[in-house]
Amino acid sequence: MSNPIITQIDFNQPGKQWGSLSVPYSHNLSGWAKLQIPVMTISHGEGPTVLMMAGNHGDEYPGQIAIMKLMRELEESQIHGRIIMLPILNVPASQAATRLSPLDGKNLNRCFPGNPEGTASEIIADYLTNVLFPMADVVIDLHTGGRGVYFYPCAHLHLVENPEQRKKMARAAMAYNTDFVFLYADVAGTGLLPVEAESQGKIVVTTEMGGGEVVSQPVHSLSQDGLKNVLIHFDVLEGEEQTRETLGLKPVRWIQALDQEDYLFAPESGLFESLVDIGTDVKSGQSLAAIHFPERPDRNPEIIESKSAGVVIAHRGPTLTEQGDILVCLAHDVPKNILETF
């Protein structure tokens, strides 16, 4: 079956077009409803196609705002190639400030490659996999830690096998000009958007721009400036590419969390206390977090210790914690032999 999403956009037309992807679904007061996902395409001259997305998880807003700003700002004459922009992939989740879609309870970032006959999230995933990814050279998917996790703002990527693809992805991640670039592992399931795009050979650029309910001005600025600089890096947008050096910043630090033990989960339910701030270096055996027991104030808190030396790249957002929730992500400097492949 072909994908049921329809759009008034003609992706092969030059110029700037505004529209939406219409996803069929039903709710109790509308049997024939159409979920509208905003989309804009801007195309001019020869050059690569960049597919740019945010709101894969609804409660991750800096990328959504960054893309909406760019949608209004960019003019056809500045473009060499094509940019397809989807600022809010998971509209119902963005409206509800949730990670999962309220329509089907699914995590869109676990629905790939998708299913054209499935739920709304699965239909969207299938459309990306089979319609939009094949058009793209570069796939940008902007995240934050959402309400659940508080990240030191960074660009991040998987260590893909193909040496050319890896080099291009690493250099694009560096164009974000974040303090850290983070190599991550998939510790919680399969079906991720970047994995599908990587398997199609795309240059995939992703971020974790902070997290929590509060988005500070520096995080918004970093999200917006980095996104624009990545477009300049690919020569799809006119302008002078900035590097950390031209910005007067110290060199990027490459870090990785590739082992299960780099991801520390709550052994019991309780109240989470962070004992080390994000971006801080820690020793092996250092106390990173405490779980307090409000029903047993006489009981000492459970202390979560690092199993190795490293840098805390993220910790839990909410204080209220259930057994099995992610508490801390501990990263380590990327070895020289890997850095040489970038």
Which stretch, 136-144, 184-192, 229-237, 312-320, contacts Zn ion (CB under 5 A)?
Answer: 136-144
Query: With contacts defined by CB under 5 A, how many residues of the chain interact with Zn ion?
Result: 3
Which stretch, 50-58, 267-275, 276-284, 330-338, contacts Zn ion (CB under 5 A)?
Answer: 50-58
Minimum CB separation from Zn ion for residue 317, in Å? 12
Tokens of 330: 């501990």
Beta carbon nearer to Zn ion, 63 or 114: 63
Beta carbon nearer to Zn ion, 184 or 254: 184
Bridge partners of residue 184, in order along the sequence = 257
Q: Which amino acid is at 27?
A: H
CB 179 within 8 A of CB 155: no
DSSP for residue 107? -
Residue 139 CA to residue 131 CA, distance in Å, equals 13
Minimum CB separation from Zn ion for residue 177, in Å? 21
Residue 22 CA to residue 50 CA, distance in Å, equals 21
Residue 304 CA to residue 167 CA, distance in Å, equals 36
Minimum CB separation from Zn ion for residue 124, in Å? 15
What DSSP letter does each residue of 302-313 carry, written as one string?
A: EEEE-SS-EEEE
CB 267 within 8 A of CB 323: yes
Beta carbon nearer to Zn ion, 106 or 143: 143
φ and ψ of 274, to 5 deg: -80, 130
Residue 61 CA to residue 58 CA, distance in Å, equals 7
Sketch the per residue contact string, 143 through 172, with Zn ion: x for CB under 5 A, - otherwise.
Answer: x-----------------------------
Q: Is 106 an interacting residue with respect to Zn ion (CB under 5 A)? A: no
Minimum CB separation from Zn ion for residue 156, in Å? 11
Beta carbon nearer to Zn ion, 215 or 309: 215
CB atoms within 10 A of CB 237: 23
CB 184 within 8 A of CB 133: no
Which stretch, 49-57, 195-203, 283-291, 329-337, contacts Zn ion (CB under 5 A)?
Answer: 49-57
Minimum CB separation from Zn ion for residue 86, in Å? 14
Minimum CB separation from Zn ion for residue 56, in Å? 6
Minimum CB separation from Zn ion for residue 59, in Å? 8
Q: Using CB atoms within 10 Å of the CB of residue 251, give its burial: 0 to 12 exposed, 13 to 18 middle, 19+ buried.
A: exposed
Q: Using CB atoms within 10 Å of the CB of residue 206, give its burial: 0 to 12 exposed, 13 to 18 middle, 19+ buried.
A: buried
Beta carbon nearer to Zn ion, 38 or 146: 146
Beta carbon nearer to Zn ion, 54 or 255: 54
Its sign, for the CA torsion 56, 139, 83, 341, is: positive
Residue 36 CA to residue 116 CA, distance in Å, equals 17
Beta carbon nearer to Zn ion, 82 or 143: 143
Which stretch, 29-37, 55-63, 113-121, 288-296, contacts Zn ion (CB under 5 A)?
Answer: 55-63
CB 207 within 8 A of CB 223: yes
Sketch the per residue contact string, 73 through 92, with Zn ion: x for CB under 5 A, - otherwise.
Answer: --------------------
Q: Is 57 an interacting residue with respect to Zn ion (CB under 5 A)? A: yes
Minimum CB separation from Zn ion for residue 74, in Å? 24
Beta carbon nearer to Zn ion, 60 or 262: 60
Tokens of 297: 């104030």
Minimum CB separation from Zn ion for residue 311, in Å? 21
Contacts to Zn ion by CB under 5 A:
57, 60, 143
